[in-house]
Each structure stands twice: as structure tokens, then as C-alpha cells.
Structure 1
Amino acid sequence: MTQELGRPGARLGRPRDAGLTDRLLTGALDLVAEVGLDRFNADALVTATGAGKAAVYRRWPNTEVLLAEALRRCHPVPAVPDTGSLRGDLVALLAPWTRAMDRDERALAAVVGQARHSEELRVGLQVAVVEPLDAAVTAVVDRHAARGHRVSDRQGALLRRLVLALWWDRSAADPAPRTAAEVGELVDRVLLPVVPVG
């Protein structure tokens, strides 16, 4: 997927027009979500956005760096309301799973496999998914503890790992929407046993 953009000795990474930079980053997300990573390249981006190739050359050294920056604009993890219970909070966290994947989710899913071989893409996923999801689960666990339930560090860490693993599985293997009942069953059978509710 990596396509080198700059010439040796060329000055890189200095956007000259914030509006054009925004258009290129938005176009990158649109494109990779639509056609996948294998067909994402600078030529396709230029065609899709109407930007000149020189505009891309001035900003990023290759398409992985470009796409990694674009991924940081994705916000797939919802803000989780305080529902009053651990179960309700976890169901709210997984609420996006009851609908088809949106543009951001499709773009992120498209790079999951390649991120194993790309530090840039791995960092993009870390910022867009791993860190927000970790923060969301931590907030849910802290609320549960504040309601008077004891939660060990080990239990909290295991819950975070499970939720992240399920998130990656949906992205990479099984993106079909679930019903609300299926999400509830997943929470009841897989997640709730990790953290005591009594």
C-alpha cells in the first residue's frame, strides 16, 4: 500500500493551505472506506479530491503517513452515558454495533491487517480506537466502583482487553450489524462475568 510521494531532498510535512489539507485527509478516509487499502494510493486520492499531486507531495512522505494522520480524525468510540448500571453502560458502549459500520469505522477496519506491518498505521489505530476505548471502559469500571462494587486492577484490565478484542473482531472479521438482543447477550455472557456486580 505504501506509495512514496516525495523526491529525495524535497521538503515535506509543511501544509500551505489548511483547507486543502482538510480536503485531502477527508478524501483519504472516504476513499479507503470505499475501495479498501489495496486500491488506496496517491493517484486515486488526487482523482477523488481534484487536488494537484504537488499538494500531496508537500505534505506527506508516503501514503501510510497520510492515511495515519487521517485515521486520527476518526471517532468510532461513543461517549458512554451513565445509565446507572454496569450492564447498561457496557450496552451503551457497544451501541454502534447495532447499525452498519459508518465511514470512519470502515476506514479503520480497512487498515487493521496492514497495521501489523506499519508503525504509522498502528499509531493511527492507537489514537483512534485503542486509547479512546481504553478510556471509555475505564470510565465504566470507575462508575461501577463508585456505586459500591469492588473492582480489582486485574478485572478492569481484563475487561478492557476483552472489549478491545471484540472491537477488532467486529472490524476485521464480522462487521454485520447485531440486534440489540445480541449485543445484550454478548455483554451478559462475555463481559459481565469478568467484573462482579454484587
Structure 2
Amino acid sequence: MAGDVTGQQNAGRTRRRGAALEQAILRAAVDELTESGYAGLTMDKVAARAGTNKNAIYRRWPNRLALGIAAYRQLTTTVRPPDTGDLRDDVLELLRRANRHWSSPLGMILRELLAAAGGAAELLAQLQDQSGDAAAVPWLTVLERAVARGEVAPEALRPRVATVAVVLLRNEFVMRGVPTAPDDVLVEIVDEVYLPLVRRSGPVPS
């Protein structure tokens, strides 16, 4: 009887295809990632947890890093950008949110993935979002509001300029290995780098 039950379960597993199987693999990868981090994520463990085989995983994700990135993206959520009515306050709030995230257990997974990705630009793009500019959206949003208020010139509305502050914060974690960035570092990034950069075109004509 036990053998019959096991056989039925295995048969049910082998019948999963397409989106159903993909979601089962992703759920298993998410569980492994949150329990053991990227260092403990293996194709064998994910396959066992998902009730499938490694070939089914490799057909969808070519390696462990690609699977880890896909699993991490399942854990992230979109947060509404702040709207304080002041560019400096908005940027500081965005940086503080990013700092809290990078300092959290989920942020530790993110740092492991970034370290593993190294120079793989296409995987880093997946890590941020499906499009290269998606990570800049909240920064562009607060800049657009600042332009509308007359705080900065429209020329500042470029993704590379908009994301300078968070890139500098990321370097604190990735390059310097800090567990969290002190608030005075965030203030320094905003006051000494970000605001002078976005205002470099001079005052907006009235």
C-alpha cells in the first residue's frame, strides 16, 4: 500500500509541466535561499524539495546563479517612492530604505548574489528587474517631482544620474563589506554628491 501511495505521488509529480512545474521549482528555491542563503543553495536540494529532477531545473535556469536570482526576485516587493515635498528628504528616505534592506537577512542574500554574479552584466540586470532602467524608477519619480516644484532642472532626469546615491551606498556594502551604513554616510552622499550633481545645471528659470 505504501508503495502504491509513493508511486501515485511520483506520478503526480512527473505530470507537472510548464508554469506549474516552474512555480514549484521557484518555491523550492525560495525556501532553500531563505533557509541557507545563496551559499547553501544547490540544484540537488531544490530538485528534491520540488519533487523533480535537476534536468527540469537546468532546462529553465542554466546555472545556480540564474536560479538564485530568479528566487530572490520572488522575495522582493515594489515600494511606493516617498513624497515629502522636498527632494533632499525624499532622497534620504530612499537611501534609508535601501540601507535597511541591504542590512537585512534578505539584503545578505542580495550581497551574496552580487558577489557571485561578478561581471555578469546580464545577470545583474535580472537581479535588479527585467529591464535595465527599472531600478531607477523610484529615483526618477522623486526627481520628476522635484523638477515640477522647480528644485532641479529637467536635464537631471537621466537614470545614471538619478541612481548615483544608491550606487554609492551599494559600494559601501559590496566594496567595503560594511554590515550597515551609518546615517551620517547617507547624509554625506546626499549633501556632498547627489544634490550638487542634480543641481549642476544651475537654478531653474522662474
User: What residue in structure 2 maps to residue 111 of structure 1?
Assistant: 113
Contact 1:85 1:144 in 2 (8 A): yes
CA deviation profile, 1:36-59 (whole Å, cap 9, x unmatched) = 44x432134457xx44352x5424
- Aligned ranges for residues 124-139 of structure 1 at < 5 Å? 124-127=126-129, 131-139=133-141
> Aligned residues: percent identity?
21
What RMSD over aligned residues (CA atoms) do the two structures have, in Å?
3.4
1:25 pairs with 1, 23, 29, which one? 29
The normalised TM-score by structure 2 is 0.68
Structure 1 gap segments, 5+ residues each = 1-12
- SS in structure 2 opposite 1:94? helix
Name whichever of 165-174 and 132-141 sits farther off: 165-174
Q: Residues of 1 paired with 2:160 and 2:67: CA distance? A: 33
Q: Residues of 2 paired with 1:167 and 1:73: CA distance? A: 23
Structure of greater relative contact order (alpha carbons < 8 Å, 6+ residues apart): 1
Letter aligned with residue 89 of structure 2: G
- SS in structure 2 opposite 1:124? helix
| Offset at residue 170 of structure 1 (A) | 3.6
CA deviation profile, 1:10-29 (whole Å, cap 9, x unmatched) = xxx83445763352131243
More helix, by proportion? 2
User: What residue in structure 2 maps to residue 178 of structure 1?
Assistant: 181
1:168 pairs with 159, 167, 170, which one? 170
**1:193 matched to 2:196:** yes
User: What residue in structure 2 maps to residue 5 of structure 1?
Assistant: none
Q: Residues of 1 paired with 2:143 and 2:150: CA distance? A: 11
Q: Residues of 1 paired with 2:115 and 2:158: CA distance? A: 27
Contact 1:25 1:70 in 2 (8 A): yes
Q: Residues of 1 paired with 2:145 and 2:167: CA distance? A: 22
Contact 1:72 1:125 in 2 (8 A): yes
Q: Residues of 2 paired with 1:179 and 1:187: CA distance? A: 13
Give aligned pairs, total. 181
Contact 2:65 2:116 in 1 (8 A): no
User: What residue in structure 2 maps to residue 94 of structure 1?
Assistant: 95
Name whichever of 120-129 and 159-168 sits farther off: 120-129
- Aligned ranges for residues 133-172 of structure 1 at < 5 Å? 133-153=135-155, 156-172=158-174
| Offset at residue 86 of structure 1 (A) | 0.5
| Offset at residue 165 of structure 1 (A) | 2.2
Highest Rg: 1 or 2? 2
Contact 1:162 1:191 in 2 (8 A): yes
Structure 2 gap segments, 5+ residues each = 1-16
Letter aligned with residue 83 of structure 1: T
Contact 1:15 1:59 in 2 (8 A): no
Q: Residues of 1 paired with 2:173 and 2:19: CA distance? A: 32
The normalised TM-score by structure 1 is 0.70
Contact 1:46 1:53 in 2 (8 A): yes
Q: Residues of 1 paired with 2:52 and 2:182: CA distance? A: 44
Q: Residues of 2 paired with 1:132 and 1:74: CA distance? A: 17
